[in-house]
Amino acid sequence: MPVYLLSKLGDPLFAFTIGASAALLRIQRDQREKNPDRAAQIGMGSVLGDGGRRVQRWWRGDFVGL
């Protein structure tokens, strides 16, 4: 595969990875600031779990009309 094709595939993948990582870190930091008493318990797993539950609720239509 030519190098320029790898670049065309790799650049958007890299940008998505950096953007998603930045978003997850910001959400984690915000959650730790909101809940300082349980800051040590808020890790990437809990952030991803919360996000997954919210996506499931959205998929079911729980947020219609908000």
pLDDT at residue 7 is higher than 80: no
24 falls within a domain: yes
User: In this structure, is residue 65 part of a structural domain?
Assistant: no
Considering its fold, how many domains does the chain have in total? Answer: 1
pLDDT value of position 6: 72
The domain containing residue 22 runs over which residues?
A: 3-60
Q: Rounded to an integer, what distance in angstroms lies between the CA atom of residue 45 and that of residue 16? A: 19
Query: Is 50 part of a structural domain of the chain?
Result: yes
Quick: pLDDT tens for 17-66: 999 999 999 999 999 999 899 888 889 998 999 889 989 998 999 888 87
Cα–Cα distance measured from residue 48 to residue 45, given in angstroms and rounded to the nearest whole number: 5
The answer to whether residue 49 is domain-embedded is: yes
